[in-house]
Chain A
Amino acid sequence: MLENLTQTEQAILNVIKTVIDPEVEINIVDLGLIYKISHNEADKKIEVVMTLSARGCPVGDVIIQHVETVILDRWTDYSVDVELTWEPEWTPDMITDQGKNFLNM
Chain B
Amino acid sequence: MKAGLSTKNAPSHLVVLPHYAMGAIAFLIASVLLFFTAKEISLGYGGGKIVSITHILVLGWVTMIIYGALYQLIPVVMEVKLFSEILAYISFVTLNVGTVLMAIHFWNNYIGNSLLIEIGGTLIFVSVFLFAINAGMSAIKSKQRTIENRFIVTSILWLLGTVLFGIFIIVNVSKGLIDISRTDLLKIHVGFGIIGWFMMLVIGVASKLLPMFFIAHKLQRKYLNLSYFFTNGGLLVAIIMFYFLKESYLVLIPIAIVIIGLLFFVKYNYDAYKARLRKKLDVGMKLSVLSFLLLFTTIVFAILSFFKLEVFYTAYGVSLILGFFTSLILGQMYKTLPFIVWLHKYQDKVGKFKIPMPASMYSEKVAELHYYSFIVAIILILIGLILSSIIIIKISAVAFIITAILYCYNTFLIIFHKEKIEDLKK
CB-based contact A61/B8 at 8 Å: yes
Scan residues 51-96 of chain A and give those whose CB is less than 8 A from a CB of chain B. Answer: 52-62, 64-66, 68-70, 73, 83-86, 89-92, 95
CB-based contact A56/B350 at 8 Å: no
- CB-defined contacts of A41 to chain B, threshold 8 Å: none
Is B76 on the interface with A (CB-CB < 8 A)? yes
CB-based contact A55/B4 at 8 Å: yes
CB-based contact A73/B4 at 8 Å: no
CB-based contact A58/B343 at 8 Å: yes
Is A3 on the interface with B (CB-CB < 8 A)? no
Interface of A is mostly: loop
CB-based contact B5/A22 at 8 Å: no
Known A24-B215, A25-B357, A91-B217; judge A65-B350 contact (CB<8 A).
yes
- CB-defined contacts of B352 to chain A, threshold 8 Å: 69, 73
CB-based contact B7/A103 at 8 Å: no
Cα distance A92–B74 when bound, in Å? Answer: 26
Q: Chain A nearest CB: distance from B109 CB in Å?
A: 44
CB-based contact A73/B357 at 8 Å: no
CB-based contact A24/B76 at 8 Å: no
Q: Chain A nearest CB: distance from B278 CB in Å?
A: 6
- CB-defined contacts of B342 to chain A, threshold 8 Å: 22, 59
CB-based contact A56/B343 at 8 Å: no
**What 0/1 pattern do residues 341 to 363 of B give for CB contact below 8 A with A?**
01100110011100001110000
- CB-defined contacts of A105 to chain B, threshold 8 Å: 277, 279
CB-based contact B8/A85 at 8 Å: no
CB-based contact A19/B5 at 8 Å: no
CB-based contact B350/A62 at 8 Å: yes
Per a CB cutoff under 8 Å, which of B1, B212, B278, B358 touches A54? Answer: B212
Interface residues on A, range: 35 or more
Closest residue to A73 on the B side, CB-wise?
Answer: B351
- CB-defined contacts of A61 to chain B, threshold 8 Å: 2, 5, 7-8
- CB-defined contacts of A69 to chain B, threshold 8 Å: 350-352
- CB-defined contacts of A89 to chain B, threshold 8 Å: 217
Is B77 on the interface with A (CB-CB < 8 A)? yes
Scan residues 317-366 of chain B and give those whose CB is less than 8 A from a CB of chain A. Answer: 336, 339, 342-343, 346-347, 350-352, 357-359
CB-based contact A84/B5 at 8 Å: yes
CB-based contact B6/A58 at 8 Å: yes
CB-based contact B4/A59 at 8 Å: no
Known A84-B1, A91-B217, A103-B278; judge A56-B7 contact (CB<8 A).
no
CB-based contact A25/B350 at 8 Å: no
Per a CB cutoff under 8 Å, which of A57, A65, A84, A91 touches B351? Answer: A65
Is B426 on the interface with A (CB-CB < 8 A)? no
CB-based contact B343/A60 at 8 Å: no
Is A7 on the interface with B (CB-CB < 8 A)? no
- CB-defined contacts of B351 to chain A, threshold 8 Å: 18-19, 65-66, 68-70, 73
Closest residue to A91 on the B side, CB-wise?
Answer: B217
Known A22-B357, A66-B350; judge A58-B277 contact (CB<8 A).
no
Scan residues 30-81 of chain B and give those whose CB is less than 8 A from a CB of chain A. Answer: 72, 75-77, 79
Per a CB cutoff under 8 Å, which of B4, B215, B217 touches A56? Answer: B4
- CB-defined contacts of A22 to chain B, threshold 8 Å: 339, 342, 357-359
Is B306 on the interface with A (CB-CB < 8 A)? no
Cα distance A15–B347 when bound, in Å? Answer: 19
Cα distance A88–B336 when bound, in Å? Answer: 27
Q: Chain A nearest CB: distance from B182 CB in Å?
A: 43
**Partner-B contacts on A (CB < 8 A):** 18-20, 22-25, 52-62, 64-66, 68-70, 73, 83-86, 89-92, 95, 103-105
29 A-B residue pairings within 8 Å (CB atoms): A18-B351, A20-B357, A22-B339, A24-B215, A24-B277, A53-B212, A56-B76, A56-B212, A57-B6, A58-B72, A58-B339, A58-B343, A60-B4, A60-B6, A60-B7, A62-B7, A62-B343, A62-B346, A62-B347, A64-B5, A66-B350, A66-B351, A83-B1, A84-B3, A85-B1, A86-B3, A91-B217, A92-B217, A105-B277
Starting from the known contacts A22-B342, A91-B218, A103-B279, 15 additional A-B residue pairs (CB-CB under 8 Å) come to A18-B351, A22-B359, A25-B357, A53-B212, A55-B79, A56-B5, A56-B212, A58-B10, A58-B339, A62-B343, A64-B5, A73-B351, A86-B4, A92-B277, A104-B278
4 A-B pairs closest in CB distance: A69-B351, A55-B4, A66-B350, A61-B7
